Amino acid sequence: MPSSAGKTQWVLQWRHLVAPTTQRGIWKVKDGGYYVRVRASDPRTGRRVQRACLVQDPRVVLADAVRVRDQLRSEAHDHATKAKSTTPLRPLWGEFAASLFEQKVAERRLLSAKSRERWKNVLERLVPAFGRFRVDELRSGDVLAWRDQVALWIRDGMPSIRKRDEGKNVIVKLSPVTANGWLSILKVICTAMTKRFELPIDPARSAEYFRTKRTYTREQPNSLSVHQMPAFLAKLKELHPQHYAMAYLGFIIGARPSTLRPLRRSGPESDIRWDEGFVSLRRSNSLGDEIMDETKTANDQELPLPPEAMRVLREHVAALPQGPMDDSIFLFPSTTGGMRSRSVLDKPFADVRQALGWSLRLTPRGMRRTFKDLARQANVSDIVSKAISGHETERMHKHYSTAQLTEMRDAVAKVISIATARPRSKPGAANGGS
């Protein structure tokens, strides 16, 4: 470009001394002629194609260089378009999500019926939002915009997608826990998609989970204390004796209800060894009548039971009425002889709490939490407690444990006794001896 003194400023670039002109992409060459350079980009993928040409004819003028530039730009654009048309189209996000779900089922990574149902329900929410994008077109901004909408649903309620509510504009409450479940599966899909197609950025990586309320509090730990446990079991046996043994076993070994329901008391694959006093936890039932041939942690457990526990189970079996229940292979059969439903203990637990006048909320999952707390207060070591409950990590062991008030009070008292203890005087110290 001409300086204030009217001189051209030449720079060495592309192996030539050149100076910019008034036309973009065109430089004047000091030795004569023009250097023309253009590029064309795909606006969605960012793929760029470049073209350059040195026009050294001394008779050429700037208008000739402009025509060369336009020709190069047209050729570069045609090349980018052709390259894009010959590149195989990536699948739609919805297609990839469906194929990933099928792959996980086929590889038995979604083994339980509950897990498969959860994925199906979440995809019903995610596919309408992201299904129209191809996997290489989805951007972080698209995910964050969807998350902003979900945040509004948490605050104001969201439109129902149930068939019975279709066309009624029904608004339902959305829990942050549910929304985080959506985000979790979205992240799994996008991470797999990024690896599969070698994408530069995972579009869901920057999406943060929503803050949730505390699940358990001091007032509502979903666990029974040492003093509440006997009263609860006694009242349960009085009001619902048919459910007493199932709850009793759940409390004393910390088993999940999904592991208790498919327990078999007879047959070639019986889970109770009556003569030896053992119970085997090796199956799970998460939804409907489907039985998964392994536990949630995929580890079989062989637990020895004391005589008192075996006596309770024998009395339970002896009390089963003749017919389908007595003929069933299940330890805790339903009235038709099959497995009991997932909600079978909900009403009995609620009846007991009401009869005892407790405001405490206790779900069947509280049996597992109660076991952890009682085992700790019985001075059962963490190694044995985790072996019985099937917890493999310290994090889950702590998650299911609740420090009781009496434990904390006793702990503080011990600290006080140490902090305020008077040092013992040495012999002769009272008389000034050393």
Task: CATH number of the domain at 305, please.
Answer: 1.10.443.10
Query: Of 30, 61, 86, at which residue does a domain stop?
Result: 86
Distance CA 77, CA 40 (A): 5
Q: Is residue 121 part of a domain?
A: yes
Residue-level pLDDT at 373: 85
Domain count, the chain: 3
The band of 155, judged by pLDDT with boundaries at 50, 70 and 90, is very high
Task: Mention every residue, 6+ apart, whose C-beta is less than 8 A from residue 103.
Answer: none
Spell out the alpha helix ranges (H) of 87-170.
93-106, 113-130, 140-156
> Containing domain of residue 258, as a range?
228-412
Q: Is residue 110 part of a domain?
A: yes
Residue-level pLDDT at 91: 93
Q: Is residue 363 part of a domain?
A: yes
Same domain, 50 and 100: no
The residue type of 55 is: V
Query: Of 35, 62, 86, at which residue does a domain stop?
Result: 86
Same domain, 244 and 388: yes
Widest pairwise Cα distance in the chain: 121
Cβ burial of 387 (10 Å; 0-12, 13-18, 19+) is: middle
On whether the pTM is more than 0.75, the answer is no
Same domain, 115 and 244: no
Same domain, 67 and 106: no
Q: What are the pLDDT digits (tens) for 181-225?
A: 999 999 999 999 999 999 999 999 999 999 988 777 777 888 998
Same domain, 102 and 76: no
Same domain, 335 and 276: yes
Same domain, 258 and 302: yes
Same domain, 241 and 355: yes
* Among the listed residues 182, 183, 157, the one whose alpha carbon sits nearest the alpha carbon of residue 170: 157
Residue 37 near residue 50, CB atoms below 8 Å: yes
Residue-level pLDDT at 411: 62
The residue type of 257 is: P
Same domain, 298 and 166: no
| Helix 140-156 × helix 176-196 angle, to 10° | 170
Residue-level pLDDT at 388: 82
Q: Is residue 291 part of a domain?
A: yes
Helix (H) or strand (E) holding 40: strand 34-41
Residue with tokens 């005589």: 307
The band of 44, judged by pLDDT with boundaries at 50, 70 and 90, is very low
Distance CA 267, CA 204 (A): 49
CB atoms within 10 A of CB 138: 23
Mean pLDDT of 402-408: 57
Q: Is residue 41 part of a domain?
A: yes
Residue-level pLDDT at 153: 95
* Among the listed residues 275, 244, 276, 278, the one whose alpha carbon sits nearest the alpha carbon of residue 263: 278
Residue-level pLDDT at 83: 55
Query: Of 41, 61, 86, at which residue does a domain stop?
Result: 86
What's the chain's average pLDDT? Answer: 85
Task: Mention every residue, 6+ apart, whose C-beta is less than 8 A from residue 228.
Answer: 358, 360
Same domain, 360 and 275: yes
Distance CA 202, CA 351 (A): 50
Task: Mention every residue, 6+ apart, whose C-beta is less than 8 A from residue 361.
Answer: 220, 222, 353
Q: Is residue 188 part of a domain?
A: yes
Same domain, 67 and 107: no
Mean pLDDT of 86-99: 86
At residue 2, does pLDDT exceed 50? Answer: no
Residue-level pLDDT at 300: 85
Name the more confident of 170 and 413. Answer: 170
Q: Is residue 138 part of a domain?
A: yes
The residue type of 345 is: L
At residue 402, does pLDDT exceed 70? Answer: no
Residue-level pLDDT at 8: 79
Residue-level pLDDT at 219: 77
Q: What are the pLDDT digits (tens) for 100-133?
A: 999 999 998 888 888 999 999 999 999 999 999 9
Quickly list DSSP for 275-323: TTTEEEE--B--STT--BSS-TTS--EEEE--HHHHHHHHHHHHTSPTT
Q: Is residue 204 part of a domain?
A: no
Same domain, 61 and 35: yes
With pLDDT > 70 as the criterion, what percentage of the chain qualifies?
Answer: 84
The band of 84, judged by pLDDT with boundaries at 50, 70 and 90, is low
